[in-house]
Amino acid sequence: MKFECAHCNLCYMHPYQLQEHHYPACPQCHAQGQLLGIAETADLVQHPIYAMNSYLAWVKSKLTPHSH
Residue 26 to residue 32: CA distance in whole angstroms: 6
Residue 40 to residue 8: CA distance in whole angstroms: 22
Domain boundaries defined on the chain: 2-63
Q: What is the pLDDT of residues 4-58, one digit of tens each?
A: 888 888 887 777 666 666 778 887 888 888 888 887 888 778 778 777 877 787 7
Percent above pLDDT 90 for the chain: 0
Inter-CA distances, 39 with 16, 24, 67, Å:
11, 14, 31
Answer whether 15's CB lies under 8 Å from 58's CB. yes
Strands in 2-5's sheet, in edge-to-edge order, are 10-13, 2-5, 34-37
pTM confidence score: 0.58
pLDDT of residue 29: 87
